[in-house]
Structure 1
Amino acid sequence: MKKLFVPMAIALAAASCMKLEVKPGRVIGDIVDADKEAYQSIQRSRRGEEERNFSHKTSYDPAISNAANIAGCKEELAEVAKLSNLVVSQVISEYSEFLVKDCNKTIYCSMQAVVRPKA
Structure 2
Amino acid sequence: MNEINFLNIDLDMESDSDITPIVAFWGERISVNRLECQDGIWYGSFETWEEEENTIITIYHDLVTNLSPELRWVWNQARKRDFDFGYEGGDIPKSFHSRLSLESISKLTEIKGSVTITIYPAST
- Larger radius of gyration between Structure 1 and Structure 2: 1
Which of the pair has the greater relative contact order for Cα pairs under 8 Å at 6+ separation? 2
User: As a proportion of its length, which structure holds more helix?
Assistant: 1
